[in-house]
């Protein structure tokens, strides 16, 4: 990449190590430097305007530069810019937010514990479950069952829960005691002649077999996203969550719903758990909770989880876990205002309405080469590309087609995200039907460019 000396691009290459980035490749191509955002749009340092069709990282629900969130942060910054939650301390914004989340929960919940990210929240969940097992006199109950292609974060613990190879390679992950069962992606994992419901039954049987093999008394919990996000936007097959929950209830195993992406309206319901009839014991939330204006996450747990933990803190004398910024007052104030905006403007209902329109239009891409499958629900979708429509094999090196489509969409003024050969779309909840049409129209122009590239070898 040709960069001017001391330009933002050159200084980024010189000093900044990026997450989820090939560091050597970054030295060659450099960054896209974004300068500002407004509504569903962002602008780069050269003044080019894009629809941010990934809402940042699945997360900017109310759009960019929402003045009410700016004002909420400024007011709280002036009043109480920081306080902690250790040793019986508290403050109004954290109390208000905890109360609000409990009131919003789709099933009865008891307490909220705040962290700064979804990764830290799922890391906390693992520690809470281990702590709870010890409190109950069941020290052998430490294993957690996750799923292949599930995404739950990148700390040592949450990265172990994640079921993606690139989050494990060279990190010596996953940790012992984290088990992964099958991914509920019917199009790719279903067997010939198998119905969606039969596929779901087979996955539930696999879970049952895993529990029996490991020993039911060794399993602390099962974790899953209502709709998988970073694993490729995988929508569960018919009957899946009903069958999975039946297995868990039979063995009295707690269920963790990772709502980091699905929560606060993404699926067209306030929580993905509502859409699929999931009754979690623990819910993990982040991203759209503050529209990612500030780092914030939460673990919400029911009494079944909290009470043994509370007893153990009394026995020991404290709960030896927490973060300097747990329940940060400015982040909590922004989160409260963000939730008010979502509710007042009917953004969950808008996500359902515009999402249905977007999904219907995206399905029309299914007949285009090299599209293998289009899937999604609400305001989250994916277009998966294949080299061979029969075997569903990639074209050349896996990820080649996805990268090509992402680049072509960027040329069209739309920012999407390639997840291997799957390209994800997850625009802000404020997106209108007209803006959704702009996104889909760009796909119609970009996909033939990818097909032409394939034809050239």
Q: What is the pLDDT of residue 457?
A: 65
Contact residues for 316 (Cβ-Cβ < 8 A; gap 6+):
none
Q: What is the CATH number of domain 32-62+347-455?
A: 3.90.1150.10
Please give the pLDDT value at position 453.
Answer: 83
List the 143-147 sheet strands across, edge first.
111-115, 297-301, 282-285, 255-258, 219-224, 143-147, 178-181
Write down the domain spans for the chain: 32-62+347-455, 69-344
Backbone torsions φ then ψ of 30, nearest 5 degrees:
70, 180
**Count of beta carbons in the 10 Å neighbourhood of residue 6:** 8
Residue by residue, pLDDT tens for the chain (457 residues) are 567 788 999 999 999 999 999 999 999 999 999 999 999 999 999 999 999 999 999 999 999 999 999 999 999 999 999 999 999 999 999 999 999 999 999 999 999 999 999 999 999 999 999 999 999 999 999 999 999 999 999 999 999 999 999 999 999 999 999 999 999 999 999 999 999 999 999 999 999 999 999 999 999 999 999 999 999 999 999 999 999 999 999 999 999 999 999 999 999 999 999 999 999 999 999 999 999 999 999 999 999 999 999 999 999 999 999 999 999 999 999 999 999 999 999 999 999 999 999 999 999 999 999 999 999 999 999 999 999 999 999 999 999 999 999 999 999 999 999 999 999 999 999 999 999 999 999 999 999 999 998 888 6
CA–CA separation, 437 and 435 (whole Å):
5
Residue 455 confidence (pLDDT): 81
Q: What is the pLDDT of residue 2?
A: 62
What span, in angstroms and rounded, lies between the C-alpha atoms of 282 and 302? Answer: 7
Say which CATH topology domain 69-344 has.
3.40.640
pLDDT of residue 422: 98
Distance CA 122, CA 99 (A): 21
Q: Give the integer Cα–Cα distance in Å for 237 and 8.
A: 46
């Amino acid at each position: 990449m040709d960069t001017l000396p001391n330009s933002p691009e050159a200084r980024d290459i010189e000093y900044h190590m990026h997450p989820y980035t090939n560091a050597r490749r970054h030295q060659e191509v450099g960054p896209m430097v974004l300068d500002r955002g407004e509504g569903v749009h962002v602008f780069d340092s050269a003044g080019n305007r894009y629809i941010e069709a990934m809402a940042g990282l699945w997360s900017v629900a109310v759009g960019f530069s929402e003045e009410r969130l700016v004002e909420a942060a400024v007011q709280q910054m002036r009043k109480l810019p920081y306080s902690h939650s250790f040793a019986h301390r508290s403050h109004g914004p954290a109390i208000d937010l905890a109360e609000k989340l409990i009131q919003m929960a789709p099933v009865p919940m008891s307490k909220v514990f705040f962290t700064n990210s979804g990764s830290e929240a799922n890391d906390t969940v693992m520690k809470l479950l281990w702590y709870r097992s010890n409190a109950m006199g069941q020290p052998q109950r430490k294993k957690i069952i996750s799923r292949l292609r599930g995404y739950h974060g990148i700390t040592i613990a949450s990265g172990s829960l994640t079921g993606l190879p690139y989050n494990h390679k060279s990190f010596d992950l996953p940790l012992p005691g984290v088990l992964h069962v099958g991914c509920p992606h019917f199009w790719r994992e279903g067997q010939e002649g198998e119905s969606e419901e039969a596929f779901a039954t087979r996955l539930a049987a696999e879970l049952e077999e895993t529990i029996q093999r490991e020993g039911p008394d060794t399993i602390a919990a099962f974790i899953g996203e209502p709709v998988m996000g970073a694993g490729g936007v995988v929508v569960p097959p018919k009957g899946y969550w009903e069958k999975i929950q039946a297995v868990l209830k039979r063995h009295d195993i707690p269920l963790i719903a990772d709502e980091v992406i699905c929560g606060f309206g993404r699926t067209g319901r306030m929580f993905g758990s509502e859409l699929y009839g999931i009754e979690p014991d623990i819910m993990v939330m982040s991203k759209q909770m503050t529209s990612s204006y500030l780092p914030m996450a939460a673990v919400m747990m029911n009494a079944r989880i909290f009470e043994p933990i509370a007893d153990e803190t009394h026995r020991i004398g404290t709960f030896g876990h927490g973060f300097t910024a747990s329940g940060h007052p400015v982040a909590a104030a922004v989160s409260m205002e963000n939730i008010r905006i979502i509710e007042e403007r009917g953004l969950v209902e808008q996500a359902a309405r515009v999402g249905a329109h977007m999904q219907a239009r995206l399905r029309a891409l299914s007949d285009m080469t090299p599209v293998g499958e289009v899937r999604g629900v609400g305001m989250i979708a994916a277009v998966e590309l294949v080299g061979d429509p029969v075997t569903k094999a990639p074209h050349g090196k896996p990820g080649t087609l996805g990268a090509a489509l992402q680049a072509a969409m960027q040329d069209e003024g739309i920012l999407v995200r390639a997840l291997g050969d799957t390209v994800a779309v997850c625009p802000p909840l404020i997106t209108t039907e007209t803006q959704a049409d702009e996104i889909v129209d760009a796909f119609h122009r970009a996909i033939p460019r990818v097909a032409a590239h394939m034809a050239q070898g």
